[in-house]
Amino acid sequence: MTVRLSKPWRPFDHATVATLTGHLGVYELGNTAGDVLYIGAAGGRSRFGLKGQLMDRLAADLDGACCFRVEVNMAYHSRRIELLEIYLNDHGQLPIYNTDVDESRLGRVRPG
């Protein structure tokens, strides 16, 4: 099992997001350079799972976000934390749109 999210990037547009399912899981938004801008999760309270979450993100019109990738995962809670901790280890800071996460409460994962 790869620890980093290894799913392919897909265009972040209405037509592509509309093909998603309502499963729970994690997702990343990226820019044209493939940099991750946001790491999120569709959790147990999300109304339409990954599809609903990404529709909401589309509506938020995040500057620079042009692609996304998802991983269906029932352990979305610990998986999102893992992705955030790996990103923090790699970059020394969180993705620019993850202002919803308190960095001081995250731990350290160094996947090597």
Residues that bind other proteins (CB under 8 A): 3, 43-45, 73, 75-79, 81-82, 85, 102, 105-112
Choice between 2 and 32, CB closer to other proteins? 2
In angstroms, how far apart are the furthest CA atoms of the chain? 37
Residue placing its CB nearer to other proteins in the complex, 25 or 67: 25
Nearer to other proteins, 10 or 77 (CB): 77
Q: From the CB of 89, what's the least distance to other proteins, in Å?
A: 9
CA separation for the pair 24, 21 (Å, rounded)? 9
Strand partners, 27: 40, 70
Q: Are 27 and 42 in contact (CB under 8 A)?
A: yes
- Provide, rounded to whole angstroms, the least separation between the CB of residue 85 and other proteins: 6
Per-residue b or e along 13-37, where b marks 16 or more CB atoms closer than 10 Å to that residue's CB? eeeebeebeebbbbbbbbbeeeebb
| Least Å from the CB of residue 73 to other proteins | 7
Specify the residue, 11 or 111, whose C-beta has the smaller distance to other proteins. 111
Of 61, 99, 107, give the one whose Cα is nearest residue 81: 107
- Give me the least distance between CB of 79 and other proteins, in Å please: 6
